[in-house]
Chains A and B, each alone.
Chain A
């Protein structure tokens, strides 16, 4: 069945790079997604990558995709305290519903 796995916690210092990893199972997903959830709020789309791409860069964000290993990562350069949140990777499920991982809580200390 479909399953998306992530490590649950990551702690970094302000200014460092953060790397959040994810493995997924559904190789038919056309796009893979990263969502961000700030405290007390719903999720918001952060970025996405087409499944035929290896890398996508968007300002401080770099998404790497290893399709062979079904491994997705999100790198945040120059991490700020405002980046503290829960980050979810997601693959496409049935009827365009998304299948989310358990989320990685990123804690940024100054």
Chain B
């Protein structure tokens, strides 16, 4: 099992560019989510998905789109990058067993928007 794989690990974008952060998991987890981590702000939920074909907004969804066409993949799209989107992005997949939710995180994507 590779777990949760995020690509790329680092990215620099110019303001206004678009890009997609990839996230794949091979654990057959139904639940996947995207967080951004900023200094002093902790992790904030951007979007999440409870299964293929179902997505919903988290705390900070503006400027980001997601889709979930398969169980394995949950890409995060930045349509028009802004400097405020400079952050470290984490993808997580989760499963629930007897109501305990364990989230498995990718290694993160460090994004800089100039």
Contact = CB atoms under 8 A, between A and B. Distances in A.
B90 A43 contact: yes
A93 B105 contact: no
Contact of B103 (A8, A30, A45): A45
Interface stretch (A10-18, A72-80, A95-103): A95-103
Nearest to B103: A98
A30 B98 CA distance: 10
Contacts of A96: 31, 50, 94, 96, 101
A42 B106 contact: yes
Interface in B54-93: 56, 58, 90, 92
A44 interface: yes
Interface residues of A, number: 27
B58 A97 contact: yes
Contact of A42 (B40, B41, B50, B90): B90
B45 interface: yes
Interface in A44-103: 44-45, 48, 88, 92-103
A98 B40 contact: no
B25 interface: no
A104 to B, nearest CB: 10
Contacts of A48: 100
Interface of B: 4, 31, 33, 35, 40-43, 45, 48-50, 56, 58, 90, 92, 94, 96, 99-103, 105-108
Given A100-B35, A100-B43, A102-B40, 16 more contacts: A8-B40, A30-B99, A43-B92, A43-B103, A94-B56, A96-B96, A96-B101, A97-B31, A97-B48, A97-B58, A98-B92, A98-B101, A100-B42, A101-B42, A102-B42, A103-B43
Interface of A: 4, 6, 8, 30-31, 33, 35, 40-45, 48, 88, 92-103
15 contacts: A4-B42, A30-B99, A31-B100, A33-B101, A42-B4, A43-B103, A45-B102, A88-B42, A93-B45, A96-B94, A97-B48, A97-B58, A97-B94, A98-B103, A100-B43
